[in-house]
């Protein structure tokens, strides 16, 4: 099995914990990390539990990787780069038949034994935010509609034509659509996975209590027991992995104290381990793609305008050489082209214009021929 994840420099300590936990419980598995920075953090190259570390920009998944990164915030870029990361793994490790993506904040607690059995019959494996029908009351339903049916931080693929089609579809959508929708207050990619069962055959939803316990689903997976110093079960099923975010500890207060304390101890262990990793790998520098070349922070409004109006425009060679003022129109340099001239024209509009010009020219030629023949 090959596990892929995506990390910025600031999230590298979490990716290190993920890789170390994978090697502890699944020694033969490989861990491949995609870094969403302009240059490689030195700590990533020497960490012994990473089998391969790549800069996402070097994968060449999209025609212009600078423009790809310019349009996104760090969180949006992390989500947008899941597909390129998995596509890289799928294309490079051709002898491997089972590939798994996990967010960097995931920690493996025990071997992921159920995945191989599921992949024997299903090329695409997802995990639902809710796995038991009786859990889904109206309050939960509202949350599911907001977050999506499936958790985008866990996805397994078997080498199969359907998996290839899925990767192509996922990559295409990720290029220009992995933004945060402020209107619906959700990330756009959360809605895509909801369509997976409709668009692809043999999609399997892994309904297992122990996979990817999160702050959002801990109310459903509350019944945790410790069966040995490092082994836990939830409703009798082994705890396989947890997704640790800042609100995880707060979520433990929603369940009874004994169970909450077990989850709380897992959170504390993770936090202490992350502090240790951060001492050797934390990077206080801003995200590489969050500033213009001159040091000016790129505003979210600028990123949104670029994504909507300038992404496909060939006249902008490197947006990082410009400024917020250029995109917002507050001020423009004399040398800079005016904004209207840079607004992209869609292919259908340009094609219609060419047809009109061609027809006008043909009509003029025919009119001259008729006049000369009289």
DSSP 227-280: EETTEEEETTEEP-EEE--TTHHHHHTTS-HHHHHHHHHHHHHHHHHHHHHHHH
Say how far apart CA 78 and CA 234 lie, in whole Å: 30
Measured between alpha carbons, how far is residue 235 from residues 24, 129, 217, 258 in Å?
Answer: 24, 17, 14, 15
What is the predicted pLDDT for the residue at 329? Answer: 75
Other C-beta atoms lying within 10 Å of the C-beta of residue 83: 26
DSSP 304: H
Give the separation between CA 223 and CA 263, rounded to whole angstroms: 10
Structure tokens at 237: 């099923």
Q: Quick check: 357 pLDDT over 70? A: no
Q: At residue 339, does pLDDT exceed 60? A: no
Residue 252 has pLDDT above 70, yes or no: yes
**What tens digit of pLDDT does each residue of 166-208 get?**
999 999 999 998 888 777 677 778 788 889 999 999 999 999 9
pLDDT band, residue 163 (cuts 50/70/90): very high
The CA-CA-CA angle for residues 169, 119, 239, to 5°, reads: 105
Instruction: Select the more confidently predicted residue: 271 or 345.
Output: 271
List, for residues 69-83, the tens digit of each pLDDT value: 999 999 999 999 999
């Amino acid at each position: 099995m090959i596990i892929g994840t995506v990390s910025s420099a600031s999230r590298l300590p979490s990716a290190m914990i993920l890789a170390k936990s994978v090697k502890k419980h699944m020694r033969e598995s490989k861990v491949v990390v995609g870094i969403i920075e302009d240059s490689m953090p030195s700590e990533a190259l020497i960490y012994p539990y990473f089998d391969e570390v790549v800069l996402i920009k070097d994968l060449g998944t999209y025609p212009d990787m600078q423009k790809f990164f310019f349009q996104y915030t760090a969180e949006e870029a992390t989500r947008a780069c899941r597909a390129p990361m998995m596509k890289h793994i799928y294309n490079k490790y051709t002898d491997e038949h089972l590939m798994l993506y996990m967010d960097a904040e995931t920690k493996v607690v025990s071997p992921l034994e159920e995945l191989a059995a599921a992949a024997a019959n299903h090329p695409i494996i997802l995990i639902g935010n809710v796995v038991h029908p009786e859990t889904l009351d109206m309050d939960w339903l509202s949350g599911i509609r907001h977050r999506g049916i499936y958790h985008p931080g866990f996805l397994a693929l078997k080498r199969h034509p359907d998996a290839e089609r899925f990767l192509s579809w996922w990559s295409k959508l990720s290029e220009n659509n992995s933004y945060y929708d402020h209107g619906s207050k959700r990330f756009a990619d959360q809605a895509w996975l909801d369509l997976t069962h409709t668009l692809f055959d043999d999609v399997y939803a892994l309904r297992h209590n122990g996979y990817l316990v999160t702050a959002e689903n801990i109310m459903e997976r509350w019944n945790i027991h410790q069966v040995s110093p490092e082994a836990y079960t939830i409703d009798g099923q082994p705890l396989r992995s947890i997704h640790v975010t800042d609100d995880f500890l707060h979520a433990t207060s929603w369940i009874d104290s004994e169970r909450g304390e077990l989850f709380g101890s897992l959170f504390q262990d993770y936090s202490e381990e992350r502090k240790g990793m951060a001492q050797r790998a934390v990077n206080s520098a801003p995200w590489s793609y969050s500033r213009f070349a001159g040091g000016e922070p790129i505003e979210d409004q600028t990123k949104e305008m670029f994504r909507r109006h300038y992404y496909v425009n060939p006249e902008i060679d490197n947006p990082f050489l410009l400024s917020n003022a250029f995109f917002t129109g507050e001020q423009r340099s004399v040398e800079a082209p005016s904004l209207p001239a840079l607004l992209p024209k869609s292919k259908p509009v340009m094609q219609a214009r060419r047809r009109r010009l061609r027809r006008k020219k043909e009509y003029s030629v025919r009119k001259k021929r008729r006049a000369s023949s009289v």
